[in-house]
Amino acid sequence: MSLTAEEIDRHRRHILLKEIGGPGVQKLRAASVSIIGAGALGGPCALYLAAAGVGRIEIWDDDTVERSNLQRQIQFGAADAGAGKAERLAERLCAIDPDLTILSVARRFAPGETPAGDILIDASDNFETRFALNRFAHAHRRLLVSGAASGWTGQVSVFASGVQGDAPCYQCWVPESPPAAEACDEVGVAGPVTGITGSAMALETLKLITGAGTPLIGRIQLIDGLSGTSRMVRLMRDTSCPVCHV
């Protein structure tokens, strides 16, 4: 289905990129993603994906906006305090492009849940959700874009164990919850680092949908805000991984 004059106008800066172009914008319009977490990572990620015209976006979060979120969750304002995060973020996305299909799910992702997106985006803040989503992505052969941020550092990767034979899964990278696993509530985090990380997650998703460039499959991008550097770590499939070993 060809693009309308309005779509061509709206997405001109993506159409001008040879790696995306008109066909890429059409792929974005046909794409379906589920974003697990509407906070500091899910916010910027969702805003960029809606702006790029991703046709169906599902937002999962059971939390409500608190004043202490506003230091980094820039999709919300003071007036949003007490409101459901998934619902309020979905409203923001609809305002960007009313032609998109945006759904909010006011629940925490847990085993037994079935997010509909062809691409799953892990923007959660706890290992229980991360492990459950990784298992779901592997079992249901979905791509998993994963991001995390803490202190001054962020990390981004794409896990494709259910889709590509030799690709590692999240649990090959993090076999079990670290002993000192703490949520953002207990440790500090530099607001812009969450924005960089969430934006990088949107970028990886856009690349997966359009086929542009090389996605971070089997690689972890580590962002260090204090030194202003970023480095890449290679990740192999763990042959003893409880999720993806065969």
* Residue closer to Zn ion (CB basis): 102 or 172: 172
Identify the bridge partners of residue 59 per DSSP, sorted by sequence position.
Answer: 35, 104
Task: By CB under 5 A, tell whether 171 contacts Zn ion.
Answer: yes
- State which of residues 121, 172, 196, 201 lies at the interface with Zn ion (CB under 5 A): 172
Instruction: Classify residue 83 by burial, with Cβ atoms within 10 Å: 0-12, 13-18, 19+.
Output: middle
Q: Two tokens at 118?
A: 């062809």
Place of tokens 């934006």: 199
Instruction: Classify residue 18 by burial, with Cβ atoms within 10 Å: 0-12, 13-18, 19+.
Output: exposed
Contact 190, 151 (CB under 8 A): yes
Task: By CB under 5 A, tell whether 243 contacts Zn ion.
Answer: yes
The number of beta carbons lying within 10 Å of the beta carbon of residue 107 is: 11
* Residue closer to Zn ion (CB basis): 41 or 172: 172
Shortest Cβ 197–Zn ion spacing (Å): 22
Quote the radius of gyration of the chain (alpha carbons, Å).
17
Binding residues for Zn ion, how many (CB under 5 A)?
A: 6
Place of tokens 């492009």: 97
Place of tokens 């997966």: 208
Task: By CB under 5 A, tell whether 212 contacts Zn ion.
Answer: no
Shortest Cβ 237–Zn ion spacing (Å): 6
* Residue closer to Zn ion (CB basis): 203 or 243: 243
Write the DSSP symbol of residue 167. Answer: -
Shortest Cβ 21–Zn ion spacing (Å): 35
Shortest Cβ 160–Zn ion spacing (Å): 11
Task: By CB under 5 A, tell whether 244 contacts Zn ion.
Answer: yes
* Residue closer to Zn ion (CB basis): 208 or 244: 244
Shortest Cβ 171–Zn ion spacing (Å): 5
Q: Two tokens at 151?
A: 């202190």
Task: By CB under 5 A, tell whether 241 contacts Zn ion.
Answer: yes
* Strand order across the beta sheet in which 143-150 lies: 101-105, 56-60, 32-36, 119-122, 143-150, 153-159, 219-224, 229-234
Shortest Cβ 95–Zn ion spacing (Å): 39
Site string for Zn ion, 130-169 (x = CB under 5 A): ---------------------------------------x
Q: Which residues bind Zn ion (CB under 5 A)?
A: 169, 171-172, 241, 243-244
